[in-house]
Amino acid sequence: MALSPRQRMFVEVGRKEFVRNGYGSSSIRTIAQEAGVSLSALYYHYKNKQDLLLAILMDGVDTYDSLWEKALEAAGDDPVEQLRAFVRANVEFRTQFPEHGRMIATEIRNLEPEGARLYDERRRVGRQRIRTIIDDGVAAGVFTTKYPDDCRKSILAMTAAIANWYDPNGPDTPAELGERYAEMALNLLCPGEIPESSAGKKG
């Protein structure tokens, strides 16, 4: 499951190319060229263009999952803290790997049925995790929103959008952004309350 150095190179170069042009407008020839090897070499490692696409998408999920998994491990059991940790991990993902997310969003449609199934299966864990966190918070009475499901979708969407404008040389550090978006997420989930107070309940 771990990528060999050669595979990693193809995945990185391929992602850059797919993100720049889209799957259909990208040439596997160009990818091999930019990786500095022959086209046939690519075919030795991936059996076709579709296969490379899947590998890139899977690699994106791996990166994403390991980020929020690590964050949640350190977050304890409080739904508010878990929510904060999850949002921070999402912001980290979007700022550190902006291209990963852009691929996930736009290129799934180019997966053939079998690949799509495999990919969807792999994403299930992550999708479920945020659901659970919110459900827990609702059950615990700390997330008072009337629309928990819309909040979930919105939190994912607003963090995802960061990748479209974030500039590592800009004024905001990823850490600051993480705090900020965690706060905004809580504003959605706990309308009428000040999120800091929610956190205060924990202490």
Q: Enumerate binding residues for DNA (CB under 7 A).
A: 4, 6, 26-30, 37-41, 43-45, 47-50
Q: What is the rounded CA–CA span in Å between residue 4 and residue 44?
A: 13
Q: Residue 144, interface with its own copies (CB under 8 A)? A: no
The tokens describing 7, both together, are 């595979």
CB neighbour list of residue 182: distance below 8 Å, 6 or more residues apart: 83, 84, 87, 88, 91, 195
Q: What is the rounded CA–CA span in Å between residue 103 and residue 159?
A: 15
Q: Which is nearer to its own copies, 2 or 171 (CB)?
A: 171
Q: Residue 28, interface with its own copies (CB under 8 A)? A: no
Question: Binding mask 37-76 vs its own copies (x if CB under 8 A, - otherwise)?
Answer: ----------------------------------------
Nearest in space to 151 (alpha carbons), one of 87, 67, 103: 87
Question: Binding mask 145-174 vs its own copies (x if CB under 8 A, - otherwise)?
Answer: x-x--xx-xx-xxx-xxx--x---------
CB neighbour list of residue 134: distance below 8 Å, 6 or more residues apart: 79, 83, 143, 148, 151, 152, 189
Enumerate binding residues for its own copies (CB under 8 A): 20-26, 105-107, 109-110, 145, 147, 150-151, 153-154, 156-158, 160-162, 165, 180-181, 183-184, 187-188, 191-195
